[in-house]
Amino acid sequence: MGVWANLFDFLDSNASSPVVERKTQMALLPILHYPDPRLFRRAARVTAVTDEIRRLAADMAETMYAAPGIGLAATQVNVPLRVIVVDVSEERNELLTLINPEIVDRQGEVMSEEGCLSVPGIYGQVPRAAQIRVRAWNEEGETVEFEADGLLSVCIQHEVDHLEGRVFVQYLSPLKQERIRAKLAKRARMTA
């Protein structure tokens, strides 16, 4: 039951999880690292925007900013729910929280050099749509729909991939994927 037990503990207001017990204090969440199998699980839809979901989004944002990164999906912090946070602004003051995000239209194609908080220090060229139309819930549970291009488009696509159980390195050749696994395994051995 692993991941589902984690989900149910998270949603249970009486759970002993520090994420649930905190009332106003935000926390840094541990980020899963590739090739952790939990990164390849598809996230479940959020059925209602609750205080726990808003707290999760706030903790995810704090984690993303501290890492530092420009996007984070709930699956990267071992919460299998369809929640992402993104901030591609220079000043780091334009946080976008998307719950149950869907890409409803894609236009054009660009090659984007991407990195990932779950694959630290690794970068690769990934094909992405140049422009997207996104539909999601905001933190109030209201449906929002907007268009995105440039870095915002790439970042949203990257984070939605996480919700589908995909990591950007899966777009790379099998040889590059194997080299990345070996490099990360070596790094883990050296820091253990």
Give the CATH number of the domain where residue 173 resides: 3.90.45.10
Q: Quote the pLDDT of residue 10.
A: 40
Cα atoms found within 13 Å of the Cα of residue 105, Cβ hemisphere only: 8
Tell me the backbone φ, ψ of residue 77, rounded to 5 degrees.
-110, 25
Enumerate residue ranges in the chain where pLDDT < 70: 1-25
Q: Quote the pLDDT of residue 88.
A: 98
Which of 117, 109, 116, 137 is closest to 67 using CA atoms? 117
Q: Quote the pLDDT of residue 26.
A: 74
In the chain, the number of structural domains is: 1
Q: Quote the pLDDT of residue 25.
A: 66
Active-site positions read 159
Please give the structure tokens belonging to residue 10: 């998270």
Give residue 58's domain range. 2-191
Q: pTM score, two decimals?
A: 0.85
